[in-house]
């Protein structure tokens, strides 16, 4: 039975099924695993001594480079926060401000496809980065302590893809299967 929601969109009978508790916890972990790397980048721009140097002088990005680094941190965190849309009701409806499609139900296959593509992409990106660190080691002009801090801040990103994939699978079971 189709029922009208408080908005103008039409809901699907499976829309009201809550996400499993484990999926909600995992969805909340996704933005947490991206946070350390973002904080490391912002600290670098702010001039916090992180063991990074260029020709013996502490490395501190300036101008557009700083804007890029901070923007990368903000965009990464925003993308990670989208995982919550897979376990929250707001994730099932397109934003009202979108022309033509705004305030309509997100087709679950579209959400699953986008989330799966994102999970695969971040898994490949951070897996490749980790492989590069394993092969090349500390070739970034970092002190040993600075390199250890970099690895500690970036290692959690290896979990981003698998965690997102797990939440996506739970969403698929809840919203796409009959």
pTM of the model: 0.82
Please write the tens of the pLDDT for every residue from 131-145.
Answer: 988 887 777 778 888
| Confidence bin at 7 (pLDDT 50/70/90) | very low
- The predicted model gives 31-44 an average pLDDT of 94
Q: Is the pLDDT confidence value at 1 over 50?
A: no
Contact 120, 162 (CB under 8 A): no
Please write the tens of the pLDDT for every residue from 77-106.
Answer: 999 999 999 999 888 888 888 888 888 888
Neighbour count for residue 161 (Cβ, 10 Å)? 22
Burial class for 6, CB neighbours closer than 10 Å (0-12, 13-18, 19+)? exposed
Contact 46, 146 (CB under 8 A): no
Burial class for 137, CB neighbours closer than 10 Å (0-12, 13-18, 19+)? exposed
| Confidence bin at 4 (pLDDT 50/70/90) | very low
Q: Is the pLDDT confidence value at 172 over 90?
A: yes
% residues pLDDT > 70 (the chain): 84
Contact 161, 123 (CB under 8 A): yes
């Amino acid at each position: 039975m189709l029922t009208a929601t408080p908005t103008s969109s039409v809901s699907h009978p499976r829309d009201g099924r809550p996400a499993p508790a484990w999926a909600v916890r995992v969805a909340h972990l996704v933005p947490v695993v991206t946070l350390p790397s973002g904080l490391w980048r912002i600290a670098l721009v702010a001039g916090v001594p992180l063991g990074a140097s260029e020709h013996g002088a502490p490395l501190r990005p300036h101008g557009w480079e700083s804007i890029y680094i901070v923007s990368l941190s903000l965009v990464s965190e925003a993308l990670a926060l989208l995982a919550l849309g897979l376990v929250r009701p707001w994730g099932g409806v397109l934003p009202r401000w979108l022309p033509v499609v705004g305030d309509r139900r997100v087709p679950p296959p579209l959400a699953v496809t986008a989330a799966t593509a994102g999970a695969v992409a971040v898994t490949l990106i951070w897996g490749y980065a980790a492989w590069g660190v394993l092969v090349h080691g500390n070739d970034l002009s970092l002190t040993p302590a600075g390199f250890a801090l970099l690895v500690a801040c970036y290692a959690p990103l290896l979990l981003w893809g698998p965690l997102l994939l797990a939440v996506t699978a739970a969403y698929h079971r809840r919203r796409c299967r009959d």
